[in-house]
Amino acid sequence: MLKKEICSTMMVTANAESQSTELEYTIKNDPTYTVEIPAKINIDKEGSDMTIKASNVNYLDNQKVSVSIAGTSYFRNQMVLTNAETRAVMRYQIVKPDGTVIETKGDSVNGTEVAAFTKDGEVTNKVLPVELPSSTTGNYSGTITFDIGLVDAK
């Protein structure tokens, strides 16, 4: 009777240096911030301040807190105030501290940034009615909605 043997071998280098990989993991704090936007602004003929405040701004990690226009209460998100009694309309503008005028041109105003923060602070824009000679007397109102979130700081 024949017998077969099976052998296995393993090559080991004598005196081999051990090698290692250093592992690191950093737990980062989640970004924090509080943004305060006025609930109501009574606009006068010369314009009225709209102050947006940011507080508790921390751990942004190369980002900024951005406040941008999300929409308005008027058709196609136009920056328009409406007289409820007469249905007359009046445009309005937002003037930023650097003089930049934000106004409706179609619905392109959506996404326009009105304030940005990398630390605690405030930005004061002016809301200005665009009163025309043909404007009807009465009370005008409307709503503007803002998106608030983190975007890459540039």
The answer, yes or no, to whether residue 29 has pLDDT greater than 80, is yes
Q: Which residue ranges form the domains of the chain, and what is each CATH number? A: 41-149 (2.60.40.1090)
Q: Which residues contact 10 (CB under 8 A, 6 or more apart)?
A: none
Burial class (CB in 10 A: 0-12, 13-18, 19+), 72: buried
Average pLDDT rounded to a whole number, residues 25-38: 94
Q: What is the pLDDT of residue 134?
A: 85
User: pLDDT for 7-20, tens place per residue?
Assistant: 555 565 666 688 99
What's the rounded mean pLDDT across residues 99-118?
Answer: 90
Within 10 angstroms of residue 139's Cβ, the number of other Cβ atoms is 10
Mean pLDDT value across the chain: 90
- pLDDT score at 19: 92
Please write the tens of the pLDDT for every residue from 83-108. 999 999 999 999 999 999 999 876 67
pLDDT at 135: 86
Q: Rounded to an integer, what distance in angstroms lies between the CA atom of residue 152 and that of residue 150? A: 7
